[in-house]
Chains A and B, each alone.
Chain A
């Protein structure tokens, strides 16, 4: 189906940007590869299962259009409770279940599909295996639960050193609490 052959044209601003970002992200990956974090597989699950879609990359969740996703930074859940919540979701809330077979045939909170009825949580966009669920729980415990406000270091360890998502955390002192610096 080779109807088209692609030819990339002259180095525009866009192309230059891309080139720069490829180089720097390569460096960042190289660095993180040098010091492997045992919870990296869990971070990958956090991204793949779109936990960040509601809880955000930093886990603080927060209000908003979709209602409140609870803060994983402030959570008091223990490891097995996090594992259960990811696998089974939270009935009657927007927190989906990610375990294949949750509520049918695997009991969740001692309930099957007919017991939870209309309160069944939504199905996750992707199903996770038990070891994936445990990995994401370990990631949350190591990097999110109990942490204070997200920092620049948190951000670049989630994304990469060159991610523009992180630039606002660099300028922490200017983000004054009265918001006067915003949107001017």
Chain B
């Protein structure tokens, strides 16, 4: 942990700091403590960005509108800040940035890939680093079992604490004022192949943690830690144990469920009306050899609804039973209410790796509508209108083949699938405009080639890949932004991009912001998706933008620094991106 102080000898700077202290207002006091009530009403604090997904419904919608369709052409860099965490570790040559900044009353909290937390004072039209908390993440230990890059997607706020995760499995509470670690607790175990990349979700007095590691034979879970007592409140495994409902969907004789995957590495959402946490569950393991794990493999590739106080599963909806493609459902669920034939429909929206966007009734878990949001889907002919299951799905079959001609399996070891295994949409978050009722999806338009390798029990080893094959990239991959009208469940627009969308979305009343891994940050018209503004950051954008206000002025902020797995595993599909260098930088824009 480092705390930076100003060198008094630097007179000019010291003067500027003194001025900033006046302009910036008083230091945080009790009124700045983050409570459950404030988080419930996060949207009312228009200038702040208090929750990972902006509100509990995961809308990522900022009501700020000084930067709008007419003014956005004047948007310019206000200030930047170089961050750290670029170094490699384990199997990775560098860390990257995938985080969502959190902003409270002009103070911003961001993380780098190795989990260092930075507090930045944004008052006065520039950024000043207040402190950096370096958790000294074990690079070798964690980096060797991080399937998909050295990443950390940000912090949460609770009381006077900043709550964060580390790749090596810790939940850390840092004093907001001085950057000192108040306490930390081990929640995940890299010895089992478990790492943590997601931002915590704070609900009431609990921090909810998800885990990654389905490529390393973990049995996934979602865990709640009481932030007052630092004790675990509940831990719900995403693969049911023997005797629990759902265990019968693992029909093998090899105890595949014990290493069945079901990661939970994207921050979920929360519905206070029913006290329900809705969280996405990842792929089964081994990823591509579904014959190893006959049965539907619950609750992999599902959206799960949990009682917030107990972690008890209320309902589930599975998208790709017995998945042979690595089409996980780890994505965030976006909670929206729309008019229905018999009163308002309470929906949970999820844009799945399998290329379909789903609306589920979030009170019952029943399918409402689904649509493909990618240009090309080959693995299924479509979704059943009633159940939402792929039309080829046969509940009486233990091993699903879907469109058998293109599905990789032991007798068809090399197969080309669309979407590719990175999915139609990966972790980068969607955004929802509640005024236009449009939902914006950052899309990867892709196919890739899967080569299946038959999994054998003796290959299952702690901290070793457990994938049953692997992908290669013979096809060019591009991207798009898709807008879905959630009142109809129909595609309302699409804007093609030269590269896949690896960063995520921000919605404002009449704009949508996003970025490309080739460096561009852009603003699109919220209705037409026409590009209204663009700036080339010169680095790989793999994080979502946010908007905040300080001193009465609106800003757009985004972390820029080649994160994730693309440059290691998928770069052949986008050869131009080989030129993008690792980096670690915060960009802040203003009019």
Contacts and interface: CB of A to CB of B under 8 A. Distances in A.
A50 B93 contact: yes
A78 interface: no
B147 A63 contact: no
A82 B69 CA distance: 60
A65 B471 contact: yes
Given A64-B215, A183-B218, A8 B471 contact: no
Given A13-B184, A65-B565, A6 B4 contact: yes
Given A3-B13, A64-B215, A56 B91 contact: yes
Interface in B450-469: 451, 453, 457-458, 460-465, 467-469
Interface stretch (A103-111, A135-143, A162-170): A162-170
Contact of A6 (B2, B136, B460): B2
A165 B2 CA distance: 26
B132 to A, nearest CB: 10
Interface string A49-75: 010111011001011111110000000
Interface centre among A6, A65, A183 (most CB of B within 10 A): A183
Contact of A9 (B1, B91, B451): B1
Contacts of B460: 177, 179, 182
Interface stretch (B27-35, B137-145, B331-339): B137-145
Contacts of A50: 88, 93
Nearest to B134: A14
Nearest to B13: A3
Interface residues of A, number: 44
Nearest to B180: A9
Interface in B144-186: 144, 147-148, 178, 180-181, 183-184
Contacts of B217: 179, 182-183
B558 to A, nearest CB: 24
Contact of B469 (A4, A17, A56, A63): A63
A184 interface: yes
B5 A53 contact: no
A2 interface: yes
A114 interface: no
A125 B568 contact: no
B464 A183 contact: no
A117 interface: no
B141 A165 contact: yes
Contacts of A183: 192-194, 217-219, 258-259
Contacts of A17: 136
B144 A3 contact: no
Nearest to B288: A63
Contacts of B138: 164
B71 interface: no
Interface in A59-106: 60, 62-68
A6 B13 CA distance: 16
A18 to B, nearest CB: 6
Given A63-B453, A65-B215, 18 more contacts: A3-B7, A6-B4, A14-B135, A15-B1, A52-B90, A52-B91, A53-B568, A56-B464, A63-B468, A63-B469, A64-B147, A65-B467, A67-B471, A164-B190, A168-B463, A179-B217, A179-B255, A179-B258
Closest 10 CB pairs of A and B: A64-B465, A183-B219, A179-B460, A67-B470, A164-B141, A4-B4, A183-B218, A12-B181, A65-B569, A53-B91
Interface of B: 1-7, 9-10, 13, 88, 90-93, 129, 135-136, 138, 140-141, 144, 147-148, 178, 180-181, 183-184, 190-194, 215, 217-219, 254-255, 258-259, 451, 453, 457-458, 460-465, 467-472, 565, 568-569
21 contacts: A4-B4, A4-B5, A4-B6, A6-B3, A8-B1, A9-B180, A18-B136, A52-B144, A53-B92, A65-B471, A65-B565, A68-B470, A125-B93, A163-B140, A165-B463, A175-B462, A177-B460, A179-B258, A179-B259, A182-B259, A183-B194
